[in-house]
Amino acid sequence: MPRMTMIEAIRDAHGVKMAEDDNVVVFGEDVGYFGGVFRCTAGLQERFGKSRCFDAPINESGIVGTAIGMAAFGLRPVVEMQFADYVYPAYDQIVSEAARLRYRSAGDFTCPLVVRMPTGGGIFGGQTHSQSPEALFTHVSGLKTVVPSNPYDAKGLLIAAIEDNDPVIFLEPKRLYNGPFDGDHDKPVTPWSKHPLGEVPDGRYIVPLGKGAIRREGAALTVLAYGTMVHVAEAAAEMVGIDAEIVDLRTLMPLDLDLIEASVKKTGRCLVVHEATLTSGFGAELVAVVADACFYHLEAPIVRVAGWDTPYPHAQEWDYFPGQARIGGAMKRVMEG
């Protein structure tokens, strides 16, 4: 089976769907000739032509607004924001138009649109290239929100997103593009070629939206995580020697409630981890879900580990980034609670 980086898997997903369906079009800033700032669309313009993969002006609102019109007309646009930090000018189009189109037209129109964007830190990108804005989208009715943690899932989830008839926000943890990251920034990068989830099948397959996965089975503690934090949580559990079950949510909206409930009821304890800022982060929703569904099974309070309530710092990157020490310490607190 081929082995791919997350970049290559995302590129392959584009190629599979563009070859299958002439209605799939790909565009954004520098995604055509240049192949995207992270090269996720490299070679697509040459393969499919300038009418299927093309560059757009530096105008996020215009990119998404145009894509919404295309989707209403019957195309399946996949647009790229160069960084998640740049999506804010397009937020009104996403929330007021894309997310509402099916509802406001009483089902006469749908919006099969995918908005891809690199998210998160760990690359010394500072405050304008490191943000994790997933909670801004999970709060909006009509949007689906996806965060893959590995190449296999990235390809399968992106194909599922392109085939979906409603708008999907597809957040790609940029620190995982070339290999899994366990939070230890002093170690050499481990390539995806040496990781089991770097094996990516040829052709079409899907990872269904709304289905999570258990990455590490355990009986003492449930850790709910997504994106980069899945790998950091796994490493933290090994470091502190706790039999933690690591749940990779994969899709934040819709959420795999059955998987979460089954895991927490089994372990009786829960830790929620994400890279985004703590206050009003998606972790708060997860805590509420667990408390509602599993309250009488909990043996200790639910604990969150997240980024601090500050802009993402450049010089203090690793003080902000939830690493093994912070997550491992939180695991111990939950076990002692």
Name the residue with tokens 């994969």.
250
Query: If you average pLDDT over every residue of the chain, what do you get?
Result: 97
Strands ordered across the beta sheet of 114-119: 53-55, 24-28, 76-80, 114-119, 168-173, 144-146, 251-253
Q: Which residue has the tokens 């964007």?
A: 117
3-state secondary structure 57-80: CCCHHHHHHHHHHHHHHCCEEEEE
- Please report the pLDDT score of residue 108 as a whole number: 96
**Residue 34 corresponds to which tokens in the numbers above?**
């240049």
Please, which pLDDT band fits residue 126 given cuts at 50, 70 and 90?
confident
Question: Does residue 1 carry a pLDDT above 90?
Answer: no
Which candidate, 163, 300, 306, 161, places its Cα nearest to that of 226? 306
Distance CA 317, CA 217 (A): 30
Closest to 323 measured CA to CA, from 152, 203, 185, 134: 185
Mean pLDDT of the region 209-219: 98
Model confidence pLDDT, tens digit, residues 221-247: 999 999 999 999 999 999 999 999 999
Distances (CA, A) of 178 to 8, 40, 78, 227, 267: 9, 11, 22, 13, 33
87-100 mean pLDDT = 98
Average pLDDT over residues 21-29: 98
Distance CA 287, CA 132 (A): 18
Q: How far apart are CA 316 and CA 302, in angstroms?
A: 27
pLDDT attached to residue 211: 98
pLDDT of residue 154: 98
Taking the C-alpha atoms of residue 258 and residue 247, their distance in angstroms, rounded to an integer, is 12
- Global model pTM greater than 0.85: yes
pLDDT at residue 175 is higher than 90: yes
Active site residues: 129
pLDDT for res 56: 97
26 and 14 in contact (C-beta within 8 Å)?
yes
**Which residues make beta-bridge pairs with 3?**
199
276-319 confidence digits (pLDDT tens):
999 999 999 999 999 999 999 999 999 999 999 999 998 899 99
What is the per-residue pLDDT for 122? 87
- Tell me what pLDDT residue 292 has: 97
Q: Which residues pair with 119 in a beta bridge?
A: 173
Which residues on adjacent β-strands are paired with residue 76? 24
* Secondary structure (DSSP) of 136-149: HHHTSTT-EEE---
Structure tokens at 67: 């894509």
Distance CA 232, CA 240 (A): 12
Distance, CA of 109 to CA of 117 (rounded, Å): 25
Q: How far is CA 101 from CA 55, 76, 92, 104, in A?
A: 25, 15, 13, 5
> What is the model's pLDDT at position 54?
98
Question: Mapping DSSP to helix (H, G, I), strand (E, B) and coil, where does residue 122 land?
Answer: coil
User: How confident is the model at residue 27, as a pLDDT?
Assistant: 98
Mean pLDDT of 255-274: 98
Is the four-CA dihedral 63, 64, 67, 72 of positive or negative sign?
negative
Size (the chain), residues: 337
Span 190-197, average pLDDT: 94
**Domains assigned to the chain:** 6-198 (3.40.50.970), 213-336 (3.40.50.920)
Nearest to 155 by CA among 143, 167, 163: 163
pLDDT in tens, 110-122: 999 999 999 999 8
What pLDDT digit, counting tens, does each position of 44-93 carry?
999 999 999 999 999 999 999 999 999 999 999 999 999 999 999 999 99
- What share of the chain has pLDDT > 70, as a percent? 100
Residue 123 pLDDT more than 90?
Answer: no
pLDDT, average across residues 91-108: 97
- Tokens representing 243? 């039999």
**pLDDT of residue 333 exceeding 90:** yes
